[in-house]
Amino acid sequence: MRVKVATALTAVLLLAAACSSKPAETGAANTSGTNTGAATTANVPQGPAAGSVEEFTTKVGDRVFFGFDRYDLTAEAQAQLQKIAAWLKTYPQYRFVIEGHCDDRGTREYNLALGERRATAVKNYLIALGIDASRMQTISYGKERPVCTENTEECWAQNRRGVIVLQ
């Protein structure tokens, strides 16, 4: 009888040892005492880092749009620039360029002048919102850098823009 119990106990111990395995290393310290093998959401970054250029372009937005042959700021553009100014106040280490762009209608010279007026309108509004003018400069690309090249109003509207490029 003792032999049967000892044999059964040995078989159970061998089976338990064979079935257990060391959990896979994940490279992170396991502080909970268990390892599920899956990353937790606390360890995975959620979106771009705060204060990064990527955060600025994806979460805040880096551009405003203008009407045809216009350089005045719409209410929507002003609201966007207010968001931009709030972010720029939070991260004063950034200098930036304000690019003025136009659609492809009109002459090169006309669009360069219109792009400059658009960039200047953005600059002046940001200054009025408390952003130091020494942090910014303007440049006009006119119609030379379109984001869309189709000959449709929707496409032209995308090209009539002011873009803030962080440095």
User: What is the full DSSP assignment across 132-165?
Assistant: -GGGEEEEEEETSS-S--SSSHHHHHHHSEEEEE
Q: State the pTM of this model.
A: 0.73
Fold adopted by 53-166 = 60s Ribosomal Protein L30; Chain: A; (3.30.1330)
Q: Number of helices (H) and strands (E), helices first, in the chain?
A: 5, 4
Convert the pLDDT of each residue in 87-138 to its tens digit. 999 999 999 999 999 999 999 999 999 999 999 999 999 999 999 999 999 9
**Residue ranges of domains in the chain:** 53-166
| Cα–Cα distance list, 109 to 50, 82, 103, 105, 113 (Å) | 40, 31, 13, 11, 6
The chain-wide mean pLDDT, for the chain, equals: 84
- Determine which of 4-8, 45-49, 76-80 has the lowest per-residue pLDDT on average: 4-8
Q: What are the strands of the beta sheet with 63-65, ordered from one edge?
A: 63-65, 161-166, 96-101, 136-142
Write down the pLDDT at residue 24.
Answer: 45
Cα 82 to Cα 153: distance, rounded to the nearest angstrom: 27
Identify the helix (H) or strand (E) that includes residue 48: none
The yes-or-no verdict on residue 9 having pLDDT over 80 is no
Cα 69 to Cα 144: distance, rounded to the nearest angstrom: 16
